[in-house]
Amino acid sequence: MYGLFRTARRLREIGLIGIGERNASYVLRYNPRKFYPRVDDKLLTKQLAIAAGLPVPELYAVVREEHQIADLHDKLAPHDQFVVKPAHGSGGDGILVISGRRGDKYRRSNSLLMSRGEFEHHLSNGLSGLFSLGGQPDHLLIEYCVQFDPIFDQVSYRGVPDVRIIVFLGYPVMAMIRLPTRMSDGKANLHQGAIGVGIDIPTGLTRRGVWGTEIIREHPDTEHSIVGLQIPHWPELLQMAARCYELSGLGYVGVDFVLDRNLGPMILELNARPGLAIQIANGNGLGHRLAKVEALAEAGGLSTDPDERVDFSRRNFPTLG
C-alpha cells in the first residue's frame, strides 16, 4: 500500500498525465471538433501539408470504388514498392507495406507473398471500412514507400521507424522514435509490437525505450543499443512539427514523421489524441511541460513564429533523469 502510494506520488512528481486528464484538460479544451477531419482523413492531411509547403510521401493513387481495384495492378506497375492505407485508419490497421513483387505476386515487408486475389480482397475489405474509425466505408491511399535512413538499419526490423512529436499550442513538448520489430510487421505502431524510444528535445539524441510494458535499451530483434542515436535533421523536424499547429488548428496534436534516406523528413500523419506511452519512453511526464506552455499563454507570451517556438522548446524541455 505504502509502495503504491509512493509510486503515485513519484508519477505526480515527474508530471505523468493519464488518459482522463489528457482528454479533459487538453484534447477537449484545445482541439476544436470542426478541425478533426483535417487529421482524421489522411488524404486531407496530405493535401493541407502540400499546401503549406511541408513534404509528404508522394500519392500514387486513391481508391474510392470497388471497381477501381482491378485496375491497380497496371496502374502500380511502375512502382516496385508502395504502401496501401485506409484514409481513416489508425494504429497501423489495414496498412500494407509492399516491398517488391515476384511474378504476379506482391511481397509484403514481412517477406510473405500475396496473390493478386488476396491483394484485391484486402483492398476490398479496406474500402468497406473494416480497418477504419467507426467502421464506415472508407477510401484508400496508395503512396510512395519510404526508404528509411540507414542510421536506423541496426535498430529496425524490416520496416520504417517513425518520429512522433507532441505539439502544444505550437510548441514541441515531447518526442519519441518508434522502431518496428519482427512482431510489428513493418509498421511502427506500439500496439502492433513496435518499440517507443524517447528523444531529448534540445539535442535530438535518443534515450531509453519501452516495448510493451518493458523498459529496454537494446532492440529485441537486433540486440543493438537504442540509446544515444542522433536523429538526423532534428532542428528541421522540430520546425515542421511546430508548423503543424497552424496547419491543423489543433492545440494538442501528435505529428508523425518518417525519415527518407534520399528525400529527408516527411510528414506521415497527425493525431488529435496522441497516446501517452511517449511519457514512459521518455521516463518523463508531459504535465510540467504542458503547464509551462500554458503559463506562457496566460502571460500573453505565445509566439506566432514557429522558429521562436522551437527555440523555446529546445531551451525548456530536456529529458531529465
Interacting residues with ligand ADP (CB under 6 A): 57, 83, 85, 89-93, 95, 97, 143-146, 159-160, 162, 180, 187-189, 256, 268-269
Q: Which is nearer to ligand ADP, 174 or 267 (CB)?
A: 267
Q: Which of 262, 291, 316 is nearest to 58 (CA)?
A: 262
Which CA distances in Å does 269 have to 6, 97, 144?
38, 16, 14
Residue type, 83: V
Instruction: Tell me the closest approach of the beta carbon of residue 303 to ligand ADP, in angstroms.
Output: 29
Cβ 194 to ligand ADP, closest distance in Å? Answer: 7
Write down the least CB distance from residue 189 to ligand ADP, Å. 5
- With beta carbons less than 8 A apart as the criterion, state whether 84 and 72 touch: no
Shortest Å distance, C-beta 95 to ligand ADP: 5
CA-closest candidate to residue 149, choices 229, 84, 51? 229
Q: How far is the CB of 271 from ligand ADP (least distance, A)?
A: 7
Q: Which is nearer to ligand ADP, 175 or 290 (CB)?
A: 175
Give whichever of 16 and 241 is closer to ligand ADP, judged by the CB atom. Answer: 241
Strand partners of residue 174: 166
Q: Which residue has the cell 493535401?
A: 47
Q: What whole-number distance in Å separates Cα of residue 286 and Cα of residue 16? A: 6
Alpha carbons 319 and 321: distance in angstroms, whole number: 7
The CA distance from 64 to 140, in Å, is 7
- C-beta of 93 vs 120, nearer to ligand ADP: 93
- CB nearer ligand ADP, residue 31 or residue 169: 31
